[in-house]
Amino acid sequence: MCDFNSFRTVDLCISKTLGKFASLIRGITISDYKHVCVAIRIDPLFLPQLKIIRTGGVLLFLEKSKNPENGEIQRVIRVNTMLNMKVLRLPLKDQNYTKEFEQRITELLYLTAFQVEVRVKEYTKIQQPENFIPTINIINRITPIPKIHNVCSENTAEFYLNTLPDAIDKNVVPVVIFVPQTFLGSAGNPYYDLFDDREIIYDTTPTNDYWWELIIVLIILMGLIFYSVKYIYRRFHR
């Protein structure tokens, strides 16, 4: 069983998982990994308000989900229930975790997250403290093509963009679309030097890697292309 206990707040979790279309996603992104998220530890005694702590408390992970109240995609802080095949931990270097950093994390979560799931299907709506006045301005990462805001890699990149101190260079040159694999290399990844060496937390080889999903999708795409070409030919060659 995967043991996440070594994760501290804002350590990076990169994983290869089973699940719906996992193999297809890895194939499209040319990556060994399907998911990336940020570890967040909270003191549950302070809920429904947030108390971020580096160690101890309850370990959760920052994700995105649809808020049923407004239909918008927003951040959630929840337990990890994925069917993991391999999990990497990238520990944030101690010198990068400051009180300023912790405060910015808290503010970002108050501004962009709507609920906490301390245990599976046990939800708590986040409540901002009275007289809450944020000091950060939310920045959306600029990319060369329209991005899907709820994908895990963009959620993670924008989290670090908004929480790391301004003294740290967070520019991406050239501008790229993040995928989980991006965080493991230096090319196009401004956060590469923030972490200590990666650790393998969990590694197993299941009998079913869901590659049949990729095969089915390829067959469907080939069928669509075939019938599209056939339709166009008949339309213009009557």
Q: Chunked in runs of 10, what are the mean pLDDT values of the chain (238 residues)?
A: 87 80 54 86 96 96 88 89 84 93 95 93 93 89 72 89 82 76 86 91 68 64 77 68
CA-wise closest residue to 33 among 198, 190, 149 = 198
How distant, in Å, are the alpha carbons of 136, 161, 214 from that of 130? 17, 26, 50
104/220 same-domain check: no
- pLDDT in the model for residue 28: 55
User: What does the alpha-carbon distance between residue 70 and residue 177 come to, in Å, rounded to a whole number?
Assistant: 27
Predicted local distance difference test score (pLDDT) of residue 150 = 73
Which pLDDT score, from 0 to 100, does residue 62 have? 95
pLDDT for the residue 14: 92
Q: Does residue 4 belong to any structural domain of this protein?
A: no
Q: Residue 57 sits in which domain range? A: 12-206
Residue 118 inside a domain? The answer is yes
pLDDT value of position 217: 61
Cα 122–Cα 124–Cα 128 angle in degrees, nearest 5: 165
224 and 177 part of one domain:
no
Answer yes or no: do 82 and 181 share one domain.
Answer: yes
Question: What pLDDT does residue 29 have?
Answer: 55
State the burial class of residue 79 (Cβ atoms within 10 Å of its Cβ: 0-12, 13-18, 19+): middle
174/224 same-domain check: no
Q: How far apart are CA 135 and CA 106, in angstroms?
A: 11
- Do 116 and 133 have their domain in common? yes
Query: Largest Cα–Cα distance in the chain?
Result: 73
> Phi and psi dihedrals of 56, rounded to 5?
80, -165
Looking at the structure, do residues 219 and 120 belong to the same domain, yes or no? no
Same domain, 202 and 217: no
140 domain-assigned: yes
| pTM for this model (two decimals) | 0.80
Q: What is the pLDDT at residue 38?
A: 96
What is the separation, in whole angstroms, between the first and last Cα of the chain? 62
